[in-house]
Structures are given as C-alpha cells and as structure tokens.
A and B are shown apart, each in its own frame.
Chain A
Amino acid sequence: MAYSEKVIDHYENPRNVGVLDKDSIQVGTGMVGAPACGDVMRLQIQVNDQGVIEDAKFKTYGCGSAIASSSLLTEWVKGKTLDEARQIKNIEIAEELALPPVKVHCSVLAEDAIKAAIDDLQSKRQTDSSQPASSAA
C-alpha cells in the first residue's frame, strides 16, 4: 500500500514522542486499542489551570498510519482548550493524512485516545477537588 507523504513524514519524524508523569494532577492519560488488534496508542496531555493543553506526548504500537495519526494529534491538541480538543474528529485526521479507507480505523483510535486522555484528567480533578484546577476542568 502506498502511503501519503504526510504519513511517511510523521512516521519517520514522529512529533512529541515520550512520556509525561501519569500521576500528576495536570496530566491526563488515554490508552486505547489492544495488542491483539495490532494497535495500542498512549496519548498524554498536560493541562494548565486555565484548561489549556500545554504539552502532549504519545507512544504508539501499530502500523505507520496509527503512528502518524497519533503524532499529528499531539501537534493539533497543543494550545487547545479541553473543549476544543474534544471536538477533533477522526475524519479530520484521516483527511489530513489522506488515509485510505482500510486505515481509517487508525484515526478513530486517535480520536478515542484524546477523548480518553481528557476523561482521565477530568475524573482525576473531580476526585481531587482540593486542587484549584478542578473548577477549570
């Protein structure tokens, strides 16, 4: 299968690979997929008290399209508020990367990953209501 230049670029030079402290109250972690299905994405976002995503990191086990989808997503979410980030649709990722139909599920996984990361952060902040950040979340 021929990949688009954008997929190859993200695959060969993935942006924002890494790990954030998953125990930090400022960090939300989303882990989606399953090894048996051939793809697992871990997306982490670091969110300030104003609810703006300051940093994002990922690691992905999966095909080139899955790696590219998560790499692109980390670029897109930085600087966005949680509400804005939640609005990102898989179809936008698929279009940007020109994913073929058989690879669209990789972009679905990326959308699931950002939603899971936001959910993780918000549930953390709700349980830890002593933190002032909880109202912003």
Chain B
Amino acid sequence: MKFPIYLDYSATTPVDPRVAEKMCACLTPDGVFGNPASRSHAFGWAAEQLVDEARANVAALVGADPKEIVWTSGATESDNLAIKGAAHFYQKQGKHIITLKTEHKAVLDTCRQLEREGFEVTYLDVQSNGLVDLAVFEEAIRPDTILASVMHVNNEIGVIQDIAAIGSICRERKVIFHVDAAQSPGKVDIDLAELPVDLMSFSAHKIYGPKGIGALYVQRKPRVRIEAQMHGGGHERGMRSGTLATHQIVGMGEAFRIAREEMAAENVRILALRNRLYDGLKDMEEVYVNGDLAHRISGNLNISFNFVEGESLMMALKDMAVSSGSACTSASLEPSYVLRALGREDELAHSSLRFTLGRFTTEEEIDHVLSQVRSQVERLRDLSPLWDMYKEGIDLKSVQWAAH
C-alpha cells in the first residue's frame, strides 16, 4: 500500500496514465504541437484533427453533438461563461436568476457579480437530504426569470439533483437552464440529446484528465445564445477566444473516452468500496451521513463524527488524504455552507469528513482507512469534553455556551 492513501477524488483526480501518454504526444517537435487554428499547413491540420476527435469523445459521453462543445479552461470558466453569457444576452427579457445555496462558488460568486450588475438572484434552500424541492423551485420562477443554474452532482455531499425534472420545468416556463456538471461525467449517465438542459459545464480533472481544461455544452436545437466573456481571435465560434491547448484538449477527450468505456464497471466497483467503508463505520455512536445516501454518486461518503472536530481528525488521519467541512480547514473560519444549507447544526458541520473514492482506490486501502478512522475517532472523543457531557446525558443544546 502506498501512503498517504488518496481519498479526495472530488477535489481532483490523478491523470490516467493512458491520458498522459496521449497528451505527451502533443508537445514536442516530434509531436502534434501545431496551432489547431493554422489552416495553411500540416502542423495545424494534424492538431485540428486531434481537437476534433477529442471534441467528439467529450460529446459522446454526454450525448451531445460535437458542435455543441466549447473548450474552456475548466468548469469555473464554463460556469462564468454560461451564467454571465446567458444573463447578458437575455437581459432585455428579464433580470432574475435562480440558483441553489449549495452550488459551487464558481456559480454562487458569478451570481453575486451579476447582482452587482443589477440582476436579481434567488438562492433556493435545499431539503435536509441536499436535494431541491421541485415545487419550491417552480414557485421561485417569475415572469422576469431568464436563467436557472442547478448543479448536477454536489461536490461536497455527492447528491444528484433531478436535472431532468428541473429542466422540464424550465422548458415549460421558458427559462434557460444551466447545469454545473463538473462532478458528474463518468459517474452519472448524461444524455443531452434527451435532457432538457441548455448549458452544461464540464471539467477534465475530476475524471482523470488534466487540470486547466474544461468545456461548456451550448445547445444548438433550439439554439441558446451566450455573450462571449473572452474576446480575441474568434475561436470556438466566437464564444471563447484563445488558442486551443491541443495537449489539454486531447487529454480531456481521452479521459472522457475511457470513462465512456469503463464507467459502468467502475461505478459498480467503487460503490462496493464505498459501501464497505460506510458499513464499517455506521455502527459507531453518533455518526451521521450528510446528504441523501440513495441519490448519490458511488464514490462519495460525507459523514460527521459528532463531538470530534474535523480538522483535528484529519490531522490524526495522516495516512490518508480526505477533506472536511470544518471551519478550521477554511480561511474564513466558517463551517461548510453546503452542510449548513442541509440544516445541519454547526457542530456536525465542524465534525464532518468527506471521503471520495475513485479509479485507483483499493479494498486494502479502505480496510486500512476503516481501522484508522475508528481508532482515531475514539482517541479524540476521549479528549473531547463534549463527548464526556454527552455520556453524562447532558443535552448540549441546553448549555449556555460563551460564543466567541
């Protein structure tokens, strides 16, 4: 076993060696290093061909037409381009946008920026399982609503929103529907030919591709318009200028191609490992899963160990790389806004760990993680005055805490 054990696949994934190999062939003088926009010579043509193949591979995994794929630098840029681009283009029809409180910051902060520009944004609560209530969503739509942005899979708790149902509501009410799908390709089936989705953001580095490359799906039929945010040579049909990074694009294409071939078997394997992890923890006292366990990608387990603070637990778990919703892991000293949006008490947010499993996770690793987590939670509970109080039967909510 190699230490530390990587269990943070939702933060990023290693590049699959098969992907890296293809990328390396696009850099050096002997490789396909040409500018795909060079129409006058073979170097450009060769690069253009690889970009086209990659575009087809990305489109194939998500059921899109290759012409609907716009390359970007990553899901953050895709979110910015989709939301600002659509809001700016359609602003004459209204200035109201709907999104969720549990969205990624790339969506939330983009919406904040639009608020500064005079748009109005409704940030919807989710239910305690992390999913948005469809009736609540529909009620939020107003005559001046032009755009809704809902993530497919949540990065912290892994829950899968019903984008088909949300999209249908948007279609009916003539609202442009954007989906941040940074976390879902290769984990959840996506068929944009059927899904009522107008814009969808993708990332490569969450699916064993390289960092620094992503894509935005922009539906053609019916055609969705966005205003460019990056101006220059008119690349990507004017929607996103900038020389295409052939090696990055080839990496994303290969990552999506592999995912299409292997995702069915891979998700079964990962789910079995996730269940092994959860089954090994669920008999512990005061352990809570955050978010719906059924409507969740196979590789995510977000779990709170009450009366133990997440950062100190991560410090104890030095054999493994996980993340926490604890305040102490963030510069802001605020606990996870996603866990708070579920209505979780702050102390449970402070006590949370996110395990995200992936392609290279093994059963042996999970078994090691299990024994470490169990013993370290026990050790830290022995150190915890809150655990003592809980064991004495004191209701912690009845205590007058000196907040600081």
* A interface residue numbers (CB < 8 A to B): 3, 8, 11, 14, 17, 19, 31-42, 59-64, 66-67, 102, 105, 108-109, 112
Tell me whether A17 and B382 are in contact (CB under 8 A).
yes
Asked if A38 meets B328 with Cβ closer than 8 Å, knowing A11-B315, A64-B311, the reply is yes
Q: Is the CB of B404 within 8 A of A63?
A: no
Complex alpha-carbon distance, A62 and B401, angstroms: 15
Chain A positions within 8 Å of B307 at CB level: 61
User: Which residues does chain A contribute within 8 Å of B345, judged by CB atoms?
Assistant: 35-36
> Does B331 lie at the interface of the complex (its beta carbon under 8 Å from any beta carbon of A)?
yes
* B403 adjacent to A36 (CB under 8 Å): yes
Contact surface of B with A, Cβ cutoff 8 Å:
307-309, 311-312, 315-316, 326-328, 331, 333, 335, 345-347, 350, 382-388, 396, 401-404
A63 to B324, CA, bound (A): 12
Tell me the bound Cα distance from A82 to B134 in angstroms.
Answer: 61
Please determine whether B346 and A102 come into contact, CB atoms closer than 8 angstroms: no
B309 in complex: contacting residue of A19, A31, A39, A59, CB < 8 Å: A39
List residues of chain A with CB within 8 A of the CB of B315: 3, 8, 11, 63-64
Chain B residues, Cβ within 8 Å of A112: 402, 404
Q: Per a CB cutoff under 8 Å, which of B311, B312, B387, B404 touches A37?
A: B404
Asked whether A38 lies within 8 Å of B350 as measured between CB atoms, the reply is: yes
CA of A32 to CA of B401 in the docked complex: distance in angstroms?
Answer: 7
Q: Chain A residues near B388 (CB, 8 Å)?
A: 19, 59
CB-nearest residue of chain A to B324: A63
A14 touches B383 (CB 8 A): yes
Shortest 9 CB-CB contacts between residues of A and residues of B: A34-B401, A35-B347, A36-B346, A42-B385, A63-B328, A38-B350, A63-B311, A59-B385, A61-B384
B175: shortest Cβ distance to chain A, in Å? Answer: 37
Q: What chain A residues lie within 8 Å of B328 (beta carbons)?
A: 38, 62-63
Q: Give every chain A residue within 8 A of B387 (Cβ-Cβ).
A: 61
Partner of A38, one of B327, B382, B396: B327
CA separation between A33 and B404, bound complex, in Å?
Answer: 6
In the complex with contacts A59-B388, A61-B308, A67-B347 CB distance below 8 A? no
Question: From residue B183, how far is it (CB to closest CB) to chain A in Å?
Answer: 25
State in angstroms the CA–CA spacing of A32 and B404 once bound together. Answer: 9
Q: Which residues of A contact B386 (CB under 8 A)?
A: 35, 40, 61
In angstroms, Cα B333 to Cα A108, docked, is 15
B330 to chain A: closest residue by CB: A102
18 residue pairs from A and B, CB less than 8 Å apart:
A11-B316, A33-B404, A35-B386, A35-B396, A36-B346, A36-B350, A37-B403, A38-B328, A38-B347, A59-B385, A61-B309, A61-B385, A61-B386, A61-B387, A66-B312, A67-B312, A108-B404, A109-B404
